[in-house]
Amino acid sequence: MTEIHPTALVSPQARLGADVQIGPFCVIEAGVEIGDRCRLESFVTIKTGSKIGCDNKISDHAVIGGGAQHIRAPENPGSLIIGDRNQIREFATVHRALHAGELTVIGNDCLLMVQAHIGHDSIIGNNVILTNNVLVAGHVVIEDRAYVSGAVAIHQFCRVGRNAMVGGQAHVVQDVPPYVTVDGCSSLVVGLNLVGLKRNNFDAATIRDLKKAYRILYRSNLTNGEALEKIRMDFAGSPAGHFHTFLAPSKRGFIQARSRGRQRPVDEPVKLRVLPGELTENVRQAG
């Protein structure tokens, strides 16, 4: 049975599924579609042009389907489609597409944590996690099972590959290859996302292929184009082949790997190697 709190404002032109719960002070505008068994807590706003699937939970003060943050936003913008079983937490914002006929899309089983933002025309896959204060600009693509840590900012038109993990506070200005980890401090690739791969049941043989492909991409003397072509040839039919599928059409280029050389922390003392006789001579000259 659908339950609407008496303080909520629900347009008669909105379409609600079965067993929907709408909490205090929510606003549901005309043309909104909400699927079965969705739960909206207090002060949630769902704007015109939004279509939401089933079994979604949307927490307090989230704003779904707002207009694009664009200085020349048209009067008739595009739409927003959200799949099933997503959790959208407090103060999260998701914007509909900029132009009529275009879409912002969120797949199934995603988690958007507190104050996460998804800009217009972005495409978010399935099982994606965006943690607190993640900023996703317009026209961004994030593939399935990617994990984006707190306070990461993703530049417009960038893409994040499947099963990638982006560390906290990274600034992403190029594509993130699939399966890798991006370090939050340097914003550079630091290896495969082995923890995420194992948690998602990648077997040992597949992980070996991914390691080989990673070494071709980042540890060989090949150009990016040559490395991707070799990956295409060597790993046809393997998940490792997705390095080529994802990166070959890249328009912004992709994030490079951090140097394997150890970087000395700024607060680590410099250790000098003193040869016999040098210390006595240095002391004599100083005195």
In a domain, 26, yes or no: yes
User: What is the bridge-based pairing of β-strands 189-192 and 180-182?
Assistant: antiparallel
Q: Of 120, 139, 242, 244, which residue is the catalytic one? A: 120
Q: Specify whether the CB–CB gap between 167 and 150 falls below 8 A.
A: no
The answer to whether residue 122 sits within a structural domain is: yes
Whether residue 19 is contained in a domain is answered as yes
Residue 74: inside a domain: yes
Asked, for residue 51, whether it belongs to a domain, the answer is yes
Q: With respect to residue 243, please indicate whether it lies within any of the assigned structural domains.
A: no
Q: State the pLDDT at residue 260.
A: 67
The pLDDT tens digits for 104-140 are 999 999 999 999 999 999 999 999 999 999 999 999 9
pLDDT tens digits, 18-30: 999 999 999 999 9
Active site residue 237: no
Question: Does 205 fall in a domain?
Answer: no
Write down the pLDDT at residue 184.
97
Closest alpha carbon to 112 in 155, 82, 79: 82
The encoded tokens of residue 209 equal 């292929």
| Model pLDDT, residue 50 | 98
* CATH number of the domain within which 128 lies: 2.160.10.10
The label of the residue with tokens 């132009």 reads: 99
**In the predicted model, what is the mean pLDDT of residues 242-248?**
98
Q: Is 99 a catalytic residue?
A: no
H/E element holding 159?
Answer: strand 159-160
Give the distance, in angstroms, between the CA of residue 104 and the centroid of all CA atoms in the same chain.
Answer: 14
Give me the catalytic one of 23, 35, 66, 121.
121
Over the stretch 162-198, which tens digit does the pLDDT of each residue have?
999 999 999 999 999 999 999 999 999 999 999 999 9
Q: How far is CA 203 from CA 161, 197, 211, 234, in A?
A: 19, 9, 12, 18
Per-residue model confidence as pLDDT tens digits over 42-94: 999 999 999 999 999 999 999 999 999 999 999 899 999 999 999 999 999 99
**What is the band of 1 on the pLDDT scale with cuts at 50, 70, 90?**
confident
Q: Are 108 and 126 in contact (CB under 8 A)?
A: yes
Active site residue: 83, 107, 138, 150, which one?
A: 138
Q: For 246-287, how does the pLDDT look when each residue is reduced to its tens digit (9 = 90+)? A: 999 999 999 999 986 444 444 445 444 444 554 444 444 444
Residues of the domain holding 38: 3-139
Q: In Å, how far from its chain's centre is CA 54?
A: 22
Of 101, 77, 82, 78, nearest to 93 by C-alpha is 82
What is the total count of domains within the chain?
1
Quick one: pLDDT at residue 259? 82
User: Does residue 245 register a pLDDT over 80?
Assistant: yes
SS3 82: strand
Report pLDDT for 257: 96
Nearest Cα neighbor of 41 from 106, 114, 118, 97 is: 114
Nearest to 42 by CA among 62, 56, 19: 62
Please report which residue ranges of 219-253 form alpha helices under DSSP H.
Answer: 224-234, 242-247
120 included as an active-site residue: yes
Report if residue 152 sits inside a domain.
Answer: no
What pLDDT score does 286 carry? 43
Taking the CA atoms of residue 78, residue 175, residue 111 and residue 56 in that order, the dihedral angle to the nearest 10 degrees is: 30
